[in-house]
Structure 1
Amino acid sequence: MPNISPIPAFNDNYIWLISNGNSAAVVDPGDAAPVARALAERSLTLDAILITHHHRDHTGGVKALLARWPEARLYAPAAEPMPAASGTALQEGDRLTLPSLGLELEVMAVPGHTLGHIAYHGQGLLFCGDTLFSGGCGRLFEGTPQQMHLSLSRLAALPEDTKVYCTHEYTQANLAFCHAVEPNNPELKKYLQNVAKLRQQGLPTLPSSIGLENAVNVFLRAHVPGVRAAAQHHAMAELNGDAEVFAALRRWKDDF
């Protein structure tokens, strides 16, 4: 398996660096400078760039990186603007192989945060951009609550040991919201303590795992009676179905 490490960018972004020997790929490089430094420090050549969605903090470094490493291959969502002049457009069910990294990934369409958002998964790894966060999910800038609920449900159904590489260090704030919704969840309480220790040391809280997220992330737990009851109490309305519960949770979080 390749080595995967976070490159911090901006205030809270992570650009994921996937490396093996002399070669590397990066996921969602919003800024070229920290990527170039990390590659130089490790004497790595950039072979591939993987994009999950079109937002600038995920694509802003693409052109500069391709200018420096013109042989690198660019992969991006087919349903969104390509962040450079050339690249491979990907959609649901496509597969990409990165031979130098010994990695094969499948593409999942996960609309919600943006309409064309994709995720990459395979070999126990999930690069999910801004769809799923640890303890949270992305804001609905373009999609509907129903789309995001379906996207998250598909991710939640992946094997529980799948490692979750999302692209923002939002975990502590997300868990505060989860605790407001589900204050008696013992797994959540334990995770809150672990995350607090990591952040006190300045360490990343990621990757997470699908099993952990299913246990603590209220956006994956709309089917749980206590989560539904909390959402209904806050919304002061009867909620019919898990998608409506999710929508109420997302509105609650937007103002939390």
Structure 2
Amino acid sequence: MSRRRKETLHELGLTPIWHRRANSALGESVPLILGSDQSVSKVNAAKEVSNDRETNDREAQISRMDWAQLKATVAGCIACPLCESRTQTVFGVGDEQANWLFIGEGPGAREDKTGEPFVGQAGKLLDNMLRSIQLRRGEEVYITNIVKCRPPNNRAPQPDEAEQCRPYLERQIVLIKPKLIVALGKVAAQNLLHSNENIGNLRGMLHSYADIPLIVTYHPAYLLRSLSDKAKAWEDLCFAKATMQSLLAQ
């Protein structure tokens, strides 16, 4: 259609003009009216289908990875904006066939520099907590976080950030095959249990994640600020130890 004809139609109020565009996500051509709400809805629906397929493909690929592939993929991950400010990813550390799996919230500034979870004062306290139930970092214990990159200013990870890291954590759990998971802190507990309950309502009982027993306790960084709750954390650790003894006896 000539430019002059388009201008004439516009002046006569005979627009919008019909166009036909291929919708590759749906495998067919669909008519679109410029400025039509219906056309926008169709485009958005097509984008959602495409995004869902990409998400499913990504998760399927991750679910087949071995340790080396998973570590390399996490190291180069750009799935969410957290990658923009990190120094490096923090994958996890410990026995890759551990009975115990401890999961925290996310890396802090020290972890971002070293590439290892739970270092600094919080890490020292976690090591003391492990020793109190006759465990040691790296022996029968694996430690990781809900997200693998440090959130800015050590804030809690956003739901979409945790969702992008979820397939990595799920694959770690499948590869480790732990007998017991210990969620360290509210963020880890709520993400693993898909719950909005506060930590006071989640601790002191046995939960389950992917058919694996799970126990909730306080994050070591929180305990550094709230010494009065250390006694409760000790109760949780005793509960975890008794639970593991029962699991090993089965």
TM-score by length of 1: 0.28
Larger radius of gyration: 2
Highest RCO, 1 vs 2 (Cα 8 Å, sep ≥ 6):
2
Structure richer in helix, relative to its length: 2
Structure richer in strand, relative to its length: 1
TM-score by length of 2: 0.29
